[in-house]
Amino acid sequence: MKIKKLSLEQKNRYYGLYFILPWFLGFLFLFMVPLISSFRYSLSNLQVSNEGFSLEYIGLANFREALFSHESYVRMLTESVLNIVVNTPLIIIFSLFFAVILNQKFHGRVLARAIFFLPVILASGIIASIENGDLMQSVVRNANDMTGGGLSVMKNLDLTIMLLESGMSPILVEYLTGAVSRIYEIVSQSGVQILIFLAGLQSISPSLYEAAKIEGSTGYEAFWKITFPMLSPLILTNLVYTIVDSFIRDQTSRLVVDTAFKSFNFGLSAAMSWIYFAVIALILWVTTAMVSRKVFYQN
């Protein structure tokens, strides 16, 4: 019996299935049941007692309470979405810019890469709890009080006056000055993205740059004609990662956890989680649909 050989496209499809197989098995055996249970809780009033818990079906009451009655959920969710809209482009641009710099050959390159990846290590474990705790919050609050607040400081900067006098739009000026005030947040969330961009830069064949140099192209032209198109799939990857990572870090996720394990309102917490999930899915769908059209895939 003659075995039919698979085409390259068919092999790539099987490779893709093999790649997602561990995730699919993990989702099926570890996350499927909690996901279904969470949806049941969001439609019920869950009462915990010494004998276990009981569910009373109440329909969409938890969703209505989260959206229309809760004092801070909608506000926090809106702030989370606005922060993502503002921070995500800054993180992607910052990561790409420094990845290109760190990919150059210079003395101390390994140390420089370690320094930019250091925030990823500091954002885990006990350091993260200190950063998010009362100590760090009090330090930041006192610094804002001494300087009159971040916005007032930025308004008094010569940079703001110079940009306004140059004819730049006030909205753009506010965005740029706000980026300066968010520099710690941007740097602390850019370590993984820089690492991904570095891997992509090192995978680009040097022969492409050599051919472009022979043709007389400048470094600027080589970046936009070679580097940027070759990195466009990773830009999409980093975009998705940054959005998900930003949602995990924000105040809304903490509110969901506190509602469940401090207020012991598990039904409301589950409803908040599902609304939260729907918003994340919608943002990811819109952004990937817009960016994926411009992604260049090398065959």
Per residue in 273-286, pLDDT (tens digit) is 999 999 989 999 99
pLDDT, the chain, mean: 79
Count of domains for the chain: 1
Instruction: Examine the pLDDT at 137 and tell me if it is beyond 50.
Output: no
Instruction: Examine the pLDDT at 223 and tell me if it is beyond 60.
Output: yes
Q: How confident is residue 121, by pLDDT bands cut at 50, 70 and 90?
A: low
Contacting residues for 167 by C-beta, under 8 A, at least 6 apart: none
Q: What torsion do the CA atoms of 262, 265, 267, 269 make, to the nearest 10 degrees?
A: -40
Q: How confident is residue 7, by pLDDT bands cut at 50, 70 and 90?
A: confident
CATH number at residue 227: 1.10.3720.10
DSSP reduced 3-state for 48: strand
pLDDT at 1: 52
Contacting residues for 44 by C-beta, under 8 A, at least 6 apart: 55, 56, 57, 58, 267
pLDDT at 278: 92
Residues 80 and 74: their CA atoms lie apart, in Å, by 10
* CA nearest to 274, candidates 27, 104, 38, 1: 38
Find out whether 88 and 243 touch, Cβ atoms under 8 Å: yes
pLDDT at 84: 85
Give CA separation, 40 vs 20, 48, 282, 296, in Å: 28, 15, 22, 42
pLDDT at 178: 67
Instruction: Examine the pLDDT at 235 and tell me if it is beyond 80.
Output: yes
DSSP reduced 3-state for 47: strand
Residues 235 and 92: their CA atoms lie apart, in Å, by 7
DSSP reduced 3-state for 53: strand
Instruction: Examine the pLDDT at 120 and tell me if it is beyond 50.
Output: yes
Residues 126 and 128: their CA atoms lie apart, in Å, by 5
Does 216 reside within a domain? yes
Q: How confident is residue 194, by pLDDT bands cut at 50, 70 and 90?
A: confident
Higher pLDDT, 8 or 131: 8
Does 32 reside within a domain? no
Does 47 reside within a domain? no
The 3-class secondary structure across 72-113, one letter per residue, is CHHHHHHHHHHHHHHHHHHHHHHHHHHHHHHCCCCCCHHHHH
Q: Cite the beta strand spans of the chain per DSSP E.
A: 44-49, 52-57
> Which range of residues forms the domain containing residue 262?
69-123+189-299
pTM for the whole thing?
A: 0.73
* CA nearest to 66, candidates 216, 241, 260: 260
Residues 279 and 147: their CA atoms lie apart, in Å, by 36
> Residue 45: how many CB atoms within 10 A of its CB?
16
Give CA separation, 32 vs 20, 122, 211, 279, in Å: 16, 32, 51, 20
Query: pLDDT digit string (tens) for 205-222?
Result: 889 889 988 988 888 888
Does 22 reside within a domain? no
